[in-house]
Structure 1
Amino acid sequence: MIHKFPEEIIHDILFRLPSKTLIRCTSVCKPWNSMIKNPSFIRTHLNRTINLNNQFGTHLRLLHCVPGARCSSDVNISVDEPREEQFYLHYDNHAFDEYCKLEFPIFPREEMHNKFLRVVGICNGLVFLADDKDCLGYTFMLCNPSMRKSVTVPKPHLTFNTIGPYYACIGFGFDAATNDYKVVRLITDQCVDPNTFYEVYSLAGGSWSEPRSLDHVCEVKDPRKPQAFVNGAIHWEACRRLKNGDYEDFILAYDLGSDSFRGIMAPKSFHSSWTSQLSVSGDGKSIALFQPYLTNTKKRCVDIWVMKEYGKEESWTKLTTLSRSGPQRGVRYRPLCFTKCGDVVLVPIYGFWECELLCLDLMSKQFKKLGIHGYIYYYAESYVESLVLLDKTNAVSY
């Protein structure tokens, strides 16, 4: 009679269990607890989960919904009356059915500068939340809602008290080379002769790096617009001043592995405006652009662009143009994201009417109502259930 299974067999059995089951298994005995909380086990389990999702098409997408009495396309999520925001997981497919509801830590409203925390980015099941409406908000938090664990990010070096007024944006991503999750904060001061600095927070190190300056001054167009984390780099829409005094729009990319910045030019025929939005392509391997604009005849349109080969500017391809001849006349659209199957999720804006999320099939050009409405702001990004944060001693349960 066998009284004890070999450790490698136990490891193989645990390795195949879902994240939530593994959390319960940590209470069985000390050896299991130590095995499951090992960083190598956590990373290998994550890779297996991602591979299974790719194999069976069981991808998930997190949807952040802020309720309100009116509908707006503004990405600033402050609303007239603070109400409860909602977080849901949906299957990332044509149906977009609800998978479950998620819970996040509750912050005292009186301690926040914004009425709701903003989702900056999501990576491997880790969600980065920020209270960064203005230069006085320094509440940053990393959460794994599947495990209900969180880590509070310490106050950065560059603040209003240290450098005065400034413009700031923040990004979040994963450095695969070091198995570390990082937050980068880009700051441009408001001096007569401005300078741009950046500082990086490392989850593994638990602290911010010393601020460093960029060789050139640049400014992210709207700090509260969604970022795009692709191929180990965080991307933002930005602009920079040329030597002749003109301004040039481009995509600013920060590579977490090399700790370096680079620029990517937008499509040559791209209609530049402050209402455009950067996104991730459907396959998650490149970047995309959604561009609303007005034609000479005052017709509202949205161009949808994808960089077919990441890093090759000549591969920018316009997939389609949406116009106001959609499901209802007078509608204008704010594209939200691509789904894994290549559809586009959109927020239709009907003046002050309620918004109901739509899904656009780019092949058939058909719209489908998703049955989600009554909110004034939506954010959606790919999500995977994981054990990230389980090995962090400074992570707290909520």
Structure 2
Amino acid sequence: MKSLLKFRCVSKSWFFLLSSPLFSKTHVDFCLKNPNLTGYRLAVVASVYGSGRKCNFYNLGFENSCLSLARNSCPVKSLAISARILGSCNGLICLTSDSFTLMLLNPCTGKVNVFPDSMLRSNGGGGGGVGCFIRYGFGYDASFEDYKVVKIFSFPHIEGRFENMVSVYSLKAKSWKMIEGFNSSSLNGKVGVFVNGALHWEACHSHCSGLFWEIVILDLAVERYGKIALPSYEDGGVYWTLSVSRGYLVGCCNYEKNKADVWVMKEYGVEESWTKLVTILLPVHRRAYILPLFVAENCDEFLLQLGEELALYNSRDGSYKRLDGYSSGDYFRQAQATTYFESLASPHM
């Protein structure tokens, strides 16, 4: 990508070619169809005492046949103290900027688009009201070639069910609109995972034998809701987390027994294609939930978010390598992370 950005300076014709939406779309499509040839990156947003929140970016690669990370430049030096990651898609990262604005960032080009957040104006209250839980999602509607941000206002209803009011921001229209809402169990996933044109949130509700988990989805093209069943799991206390790695939906079943099973849906929408990759034993004295951020092609190595820490896990020998360098000398807390690939996608339509 650095070469492509430099090539825009060769001539006017090269500049217009490499700056065109068609070239950007073609490159994004190539990356999506060839995940094994695509270089992936990691973005980390974390609080630094006395400095608000900072963005750090890393290259994901292999060194001596082992998964490794290397720090690269950061176009955004600092963010609002409330900033957090709301999702990534096609090389763009969506973040909160402050209480009333959102931000789309392309870490490769450094371009930023800031736009207003959605406020719920109804009997539920001005910004969601007491007892309202907020959920976000960010993805791409290929049918209209439009990026969309989804904000869900989730209100407790009856018997562990929730009434969800949904607002969608269109980057093309530069505006928010309310769409049909839905009832659901508790949406535990605060940020939706974008895969195959849809956003996915892990959800659970109580019944006589304990908690029942499932995935609630929203298709961005037709704005239709659905569900995907999770793989079977052992009885007892569990907590599911969702992520995406190299274009595949990944589910992690965290057990109270200090272990976690990592699953991947090899064929999207086919529930029988859920495949368990590994059972991870947590380090001694660790009780944090695991969120897989990246799975290597050989499925032997994993980049994990372990509570507030980031670590590389090698399933061949069960070893952890804590990423001390991601704080860059600062004392970080409340870290968030997402993977993305470099592209020329514009945060403006």
Q: 1:204 and 2:160 equivalent? A: no
SS of alignment partner, residue 208 of structure 1: strand
- Structure 1, 310-319 or 187-196: larger mean CA deviation: 187-196
In structure 2, the residue matched to 1:395 is: none
AA in 1 matched with 2:285? G
Residues 198, 212 of structure 1: 8 Å contact kept: yes
The whole-number CA distance in structure 2 between the counterparts of 1:176 and 1:53 is 18
AA in 2 matched with 1:20? L
SS of alignment partner, residue 318 of structure 1: strand
In structure 1, the residue matched to 2:110 is: 148
In structure 1, the residue matched to 2:247 is: 284
Q: Deviations over 1:297-336 (max 9, x none)?
A: xxx2222223333222233333333334x4xx32345344
Give the one of 271, 275, 285 matched to 1:313.
271
More strand by share: 2
Residues 19, 386 of structure 1: 8 Å contact kept: no
AA in 1 matched with 2:145? N
Give the drift of 1:231. Answer: 1.2
The whole-number CA distance in structure 2 between the counterparts of 1:47 and 1:60 is 15
The whole-number CA distance in structure 2 between the counterparts of 1:95 and 1:120 is 26
Change (3 A) 1:271 1:23: farther
AA in 2 matched with 1:64? V
The whole-number CA distance in structure 1 between the counterparts of 2:335 and 2:53 is 14
- How many aligned positions are there? 333
In structure 1, the residue matched to 2:40 is: 60
The whole-number CA distance in structure 2 between the counterparts of 1:390 and 1:358 is 30
In structure 2, the residue matched to 1:139 is: 101
Residues 141, 148 of structure 2: 8 Å contact kept: yes
AA in 2 matched with 1:307? M
Give the drift of 1:128. Answer: 0.3
Residues 336, 378 of structure 1: 8 Å contact kept: no
Unaligned runs of 5+ in 1: 1-15, 69-79, 110-114, 350-354, 393-398
Give the drift of 1:180. Answer: 1.5
- Structure 1, 309-318 or 145-154: larger mean CA deviation: 309-318
Q: 1:339 and 2:305 equivalent? A: no
Change (3 A) 1:52 1:315: closer
Give the drift of 1:260. Answer: 0.9
AA in 1 matched with 2:56? F
Unaligned runs of 5+ in 2: none
The whole-number CA distance in structure 1 between the counterparts of 2:236 and 2:285 is 23
Give the drift of 1:348. Answer: 5.2
Q: Deviations over 1:347-387 (max 9, x none)?
A: 557xxxxx764322334534445453654344333322222
SS of alignment partner, residue 345 of structure 2: coil
The whole-number CA distance in structure 1 between the counterparts of 2:215 and 2:335 is 23
> In the TM superposition, what are the counterparts of 1:153-164 in structure 2 within 5 Å?
153-158=115-120, 160-161=125-126, 164=129
SS of alignment partner, residue 24 of structure 2: helix
In structure 2, the residue matched to 1:71 is: none
In structure 2, the residue matched to 1:103 is: 75
AA in 2 matched with 1:204? K
Q: Deviations over 1:235-264 (max 9, x none)?
A: 11113588x9x9743111111122111111
Q: Deviations over 1:202-252 (max 9, x none)?
A: 1122111234222x34431142xx53221111111113588x9x9743111
> In the TM superposition, what are the counterparts of 1:76-95 in structure 2 within 5 Å?
82-93=51-62, 94-95=66-67
The whole-number CA distance in structure 2 between the counterparts of 1:277 and 1:249 is 10
Give the drift of 1:49. Answer: 5.4
Query: What's the TM-score once normalised by structure 2's chain length?
Result: 0.79
The whole-number CA distance in structure 1 between the counterparts of 2:271 and 2:32 is 29
Give the drift of 1:190. Answer: 5.0
Percent of aligned pairs sharing the same letter: 27
SS of alignment partner, residue 85 of structure 1: strand
Q: 1:21 and 2:19 equivalent? A: no
